[in-house]
C-alpha cells in the first residue's frame, strides 16, 4: 500500500478543528493513488450517492485503474447503461469504458447476499432448513438494517476475492438510501445486539438447557405465545433461531471484519450532500459520526449546485432594472418579458449566493474537511456520457475529460 498520499486528498481521522482550512478536495489524486483501495460514498437519500459512486468509478477506470462499483439502487436507465439491470449479485464488465483500466459494476441483491451467507456458513441440510423458514424469509428481506448489513457483507466478499485473485485494485461503494445517517455504520452493532437480544436468548434457552428458572419462564411464555400465535408459528420461530445460531457466529465475525476494513488506511469516505440547509446539516452529522467511529474521511461532495449565472449583473441591479422597466414601459410585451428574465436572473444569483453561504457555514464548522462542488447538469445522469461529465466535474476538469486539466 502506498505511503505517498498527498495531503490534498489524504483521508483524515477528523479530529477537533485545527483552524486550518482544508481547501478543495483533489478527487483525481484520491482515485489515482494506488493506496486508495475502497471509496465509500455516503449521505442522505436522493443527494446523488449512486451517481457520484458510478461517476467516480468510471473516471478511475478511464484513468487506468481496475475498478468495481457496488451500487445499491441505481435508477433504471443508469443501470441499463451500465449493463446491471439484472439482480444477479455478480459484478459484470461495463461496456464502453475507454482507456487502459476496467470497470465492473453490480447492483446489490440484499436477499441473495443473505442467502449466500447462510449457504456458506451452514451445512447443506441446515441451510435448506433456514432458507425455507418463513422467519428467515421475513428477516432477510425486511429486518431493519438488513440492507446496510448486506452492503457491508458484499463489500467484504468482493474485497476478499479481489485480494485473493487480484481482480480489482479499487472498490467504489454506494450506500443504501437510508433515512437515518447512522444505519450504515451501525449495521454490525445492530445485528449483534439483535442476536444477543433477550428474545433470541430466551428462544434458544431450551436448546442450550441452562437454569431451571429460565426454562420455567420460557415455557410460560411459550404457552402464552402458542395460545396466541399457534403451535406451528412458534415451532417455525424456534427452529429458525436454533438453526441460525450456528450461522450467526460467522455473520457477526465478518461484520466486525468489514467494519475494520472500513477503518483501515486505504479506505476513503466521501460524504455527498445537496447544497441545501437540511442536506448539509445531515452531512455535518455524517462527518461527526465518521469522526466518532474513527473512519477515514476524504471529503465532502456538494452535488447539484446551482450553476453560476452568466453575466456580471448583481441580483439587486437586475431587480432595479426590472422594476424600472415595469414602471416605464408596462404596456410593451418585450419589456415585460425582459423584466421577467431580469427577475429570473436575480433569483438565480441569490440562489447561488445562498448556497455559497451554506457551504461557507459548513466549512467554518468543519474547516478540516476538503470539499468539491459539482454543479447540476441540465438533465438526469443516465448514461456513461453523463457519468463522464460528472466525473470531470468531480475531478475539476469542467469538460468532463478524463485527463487532468
Ligand X SMILES: Nc1ncnc2c1ncn2[C@@H]1O[C@H](COP(=O)(O)OP(=O)(O)O)[C@@H](O)[C@H]1O
| Residues at the interface with ligand X (CB under 6 A) | 45-51, 75, 177, 303-304, 374, 376-377, 380-381, 390
Asked if 101 and 112 count as a contact pair (C-beta separation under 8 A), the reply is no
Q: What cell was used for 71?
A: 451500487
CB of 52 to ligand X, least distance (A): 7
Q: What cell was used for 238?
A: 424456534
Q: Residue 339: which of Mg ion, ligand X, none does it interact with, CB under 5 to 8 A by kind?
A: none
Which segments within 91-224 are labelled E, that is strand?
92-93, 102-107, 170-174
CB of 140 to Mg ion, least distance (A): 21
Asked if 75 and 380 count as a contact pair (C-beta separation under 8 A), the reply is yes
* Residue 75 touching Mg ion (CB under 5 A): no
Q: What cell was used for 352?
A: 447561488
CB of 59 to ligand X, least distance (A): 14
CB of 158 to ligand X, least distance (A): 19
CB of 110 to ligand X, least distance (A): 16
Q: Which is nearer to Mg ion, 52 or 368 (CB)?
A: 52
Asked if 84 and 54 count as a contact pair (C-beta separation under 8 A), the reply is no
Q: Which is nearer to Mg ion, 29 or 79 (CB)?
A: 79
Instruction: DSSP letter for 66, please.
Output: E
Q: Which is nearer to ligand X, 252 or 356 (CB)?
A: 356
Q: Which of 95, 61, 144, 62 is nearest to 401 (CA)?
A: 62
Does residue 374 sit in helix, strand or coil?
A: strand
Asked if 274 and 303 count as a contact pair (C-beta separation under 8 A), the reply is yes
Q: Residue 317: which of Mg ion, ligand X, none does it interact with, CB under 5 to 8 A by kind?
A: none
Q: Which residue is nearest to Mg ion (CB)?
A: 50
Asked if 60 and 170 count as a contact pair (C-beta separation under 8 A), the reply is yes
* Residue 73 touching Mg ion (CB under 5 A): yes
- The three-point CA angle 325-329-330 to 5° equals 95
What lies within 8 Å, CB to CB, of 249 at 6+ separation is none
| Residues shown for the chain | 405
* Residue 303 touching Mg ion (CB under 5 A): no
Q: Which is nearer to ligand X, 265 or 383 (CB)?
A: 383
Q: Which is nearer to ligand X, 51 or 222 (CB)?
A: 51
Q: Which is nearer to ligand X, 75 or 200 (CB)?
A: 75
Decide the pairing of beta strands 92-93 and 102-107: antiparallel
Q: Which is nearer to Mg ion, 69 or 342 (CB)?
A: 69
CB of 271 to Mg ion, least distance (A): 14
Q: Residue 374: which of ligand X, Mg ion, none does it interact with, CB under 5 to 8 A by kind?
A: ligand X
Give the integer Cα–Cα distance in Å for 11 and 39: 10
* Residue 347 touching Mg ion (CB under 5 A): no
**Residue that has been written with the C-alpha cell 429570473 in this structure:** 344
Binding span for Mg ion by CB under 5 A among 13-21, 48-56, 93-101, 153-161: 48-56
**Maximum alpha-carbon separation in the chain:** 94
Q: Which is nearer to ligand X, 262 or 393 (CB)?
A: 393
Tell how far CA 347 is from the center of its chain: 32
* Residue 317 touching Mg ion (CB under 5 A): no
Q: Residue 390: which of ligand X, Mg ion, none does it interact with, CB under 5 to 8 A by kind?
A: ligand X
Q: Residue 75: which of Mg ion, ligand X, none does it interact with, CB under 5 to 8 A by kind?
A: ligand X
Decide the pairing of beta strands 371-375 and 66-71: unpaired
Asked if 155 and 71 count as a contact pair (C-beta separation under 8 A), the reply is no
Binding span for Mg ion by CB under 5 A among 3-11, 41-49, 123-131, 315-323: 41-49
Determine phi and psi for 360, rounding to 5 degrees: -60, -40
* Residue 50 touching Mg ion (CB under 5 A): yes
Q: Which is nearer to ligand X, 108 or 118 (CB)?
A: 108
Q: Residue 99: which of ligand X, Mg ion, none does it interact with, CB under 5 to 8 A by kind?
A: none
Q: Residue 270: which of Mg ion, ligand X, none does it interact with, CB under 5 to 8 A by kind?
A: none
CB of 390 to ligand X, least distance (A): 5
Interface ranges with Mg ion (CB under 5 A): 49-50, 73
Amino acid at each position: 500500500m502506498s505511503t505517498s498520499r498527498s495531503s490534498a486528498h489524504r483521508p483524515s481521522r477528523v479530529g477537533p478543528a485545527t483552524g486550518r482550512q482544508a481547501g478543495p478536495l483533489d478527487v483525481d489524486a484520491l482515485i489515482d493513488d494506488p493506496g486508495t483501495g475502497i471509496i465509500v460514498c455516503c449521505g442522505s437519500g436522493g443527494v446523488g450517492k449512486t451517481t457520484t459512486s458510478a461517476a467516480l468509478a468510471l473516471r478511475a477506470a478511464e484513468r487506468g485503474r481496475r475498478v468495481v462499483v457496488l451500487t445499491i439502487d441505481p435508477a433504471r436507465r443508469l443501470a441499463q447503461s451500465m449493463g446491471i439491470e439484472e439482480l444477479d449479485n455478480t459484478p459484470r464488465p461495463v461496456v464502453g469504458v475507454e482507456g487502459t483500466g476496467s470497470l465492473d459494476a453490480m447492483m446489490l441483491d440484499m436477499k441473495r447476499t443473505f442467502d449466500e451467507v447462510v449457504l456458506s456458513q451452514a451445512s447443506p441440510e441446515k441451510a435448506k432448513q433456514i432458507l425455507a423458514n418463513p422467519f428467515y424469509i421475513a428477516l432477510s428481506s425486511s429486518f431493519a438494517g438488513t440492507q446496510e448489513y448486506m452492503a457491508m457483507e458484499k463489500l467484504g466478499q468482493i474485497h476478499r476475492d479481489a485480494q485473493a485473485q487480484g481482480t480489482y485494485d479499487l472498490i467504489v461503494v454506494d450506500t443504501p438510501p437510508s433515512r437515518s445517517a447512522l444505519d450504515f455504520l451501525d449495521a454490525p452493532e445492530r445485528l449483534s445486539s439483535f442476536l444477543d437480544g433477550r428474545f433470541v436468548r430466551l428462544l434458544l434457552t431450551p436448546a442450550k438447557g441452562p437454569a431451571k428458572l429460565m426454562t420455567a419462564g420460557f415455557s410460560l411464555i411459550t404457552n402464552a405465545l402458542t395460545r396466541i400465535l399457534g403451535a406451528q408459528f412458534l415451532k417455525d420461530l424456534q427452529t429458525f433461531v436454533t438453526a441460525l445460531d450456528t450461522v450467526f457466529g460467522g455473520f457477526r465475525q465478518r461484520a466486525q471484519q468489514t467494519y475494520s476494513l472500513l477503518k483501515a488506511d486505504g479506505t476513503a469516505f466521501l460524504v455527498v450532500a445537496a447544497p441545501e440547509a437540511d442536506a448539509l446539516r445531515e452531512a455535518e452529522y455524517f462527518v461527526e459520526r465518521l469522526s466518532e467511529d474513527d473512519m477515514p474521511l476524504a471529503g465532502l461532495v456538494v452535488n447539484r449546485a446551482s450553476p453560476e449565472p452568466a453575466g456580471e449583473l448583481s441580483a439587486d441591479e437586475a431587480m432595479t432594472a426590472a422594476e424600472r422597466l415595469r414602471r416605464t414601459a408596462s404596456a410593451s410585451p418585450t419589456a415585460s418579458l425582459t423584466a421577467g428574465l431580469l427577475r429570473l436572473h436575480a433569483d438565480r444569483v441569490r440562489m447561488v449566493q445562498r448556497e455559497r453561504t451554506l457551504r461557507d457555514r459548513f466549512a467554518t464548522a468543519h474547516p478540516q474537511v476538503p470539499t468539491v462542488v459539482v454543479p447540476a447538469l441540465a438533465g438526469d445522469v443516465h448514461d456513461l456520457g453523463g457519468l463522464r461529465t460528472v466525473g470531470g466535474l468531480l475531478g475539476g476538469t469542467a469538460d468532463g475529460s478524463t485527463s487532468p486539466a
